[in-house]
Amino acid sequence: MAGFRSLARQVRDPRGDLALRRYSLRKCLERFAPYGHRATWNHLCVRHGIEPDDRAPDPARLVAALDELEEARAVWLAYERKFAERRRREKHDGLRRPGAIDDWHRRTWGGNGIARCDDPSVHPSDPLADVLRRLIAALGAAPGKVCPVCTETRIVWRQDLEHEPWFGPVCTRCGVVVPRPVLTDETLRTARRMRGRELASVA
């Protein structure tokens, strides 16, 4: 099975068939898709002017989309290295039990669903790397009362996602399932009171 870097080379190969290059970009999302596969693909198509069903898109647009995805992946890999270093230090010091942020990290292993978007058509419009930097900064700060991605205060609890590892508080503006460790207990309680409402009705 081809890895992310091998697939990225196929996307950039000017001699490659355009349909194959597009397919390779889609396969990259099986290795790294911060919003989830469908939402990340929608995001890249919107930002780079790619028609989602176009089998032979402009190669420059494909490469631009890949550039954005690679930058975000570099941000995430740097975070994962620091995370691994911290856990090694903690284990060395006798702290074996992971915390809430560690549990969230385990659920997003490999970088898929870091900033999960339940609705593929509702996601942040900013570059992926910027979104991840904001989220990572929030994970290292005290819990807050707003979405760390877009600063929206209206966050609702999606009870229907309880069977998913990402279920919980969802930002009604950018659509991101907000990691619970970055929100205050009061904010989480408020989000739970608002459960059952559809994002479309409050967006």
Listed by start position, the domains of the chain span 4-197
Q: What angle do CA 103, 107, 109 make, to 5 degrees?
A: 115
* Beta-bridge partner residues of 158: 168
pLDDT digits (tens, 9 = 90+) for 125-160: 999 999 999 999 998 899 999 999 999 999 998 765
Predicted TM-score (pTM) of this structure: 0.85
pLDDT digits (tens, 9 = 90+) for 29-84: 999 999 999 999 999 999 999 999 998 999 999 999 999 999 999 999 999 888 88
Q: What angle do CA 141, 119, 78 make, to 5 degrees?
A: 35
Cα dihedral across residues 119, 121, 124, 130: positive or negative: positive
Give the mean pLDDT of 186-201: 72
Say how far apart CA 10 and CA 42 lie, in whole Å.
Answer: 21
Helices then strands (H, E): number in the chain?
8, 2
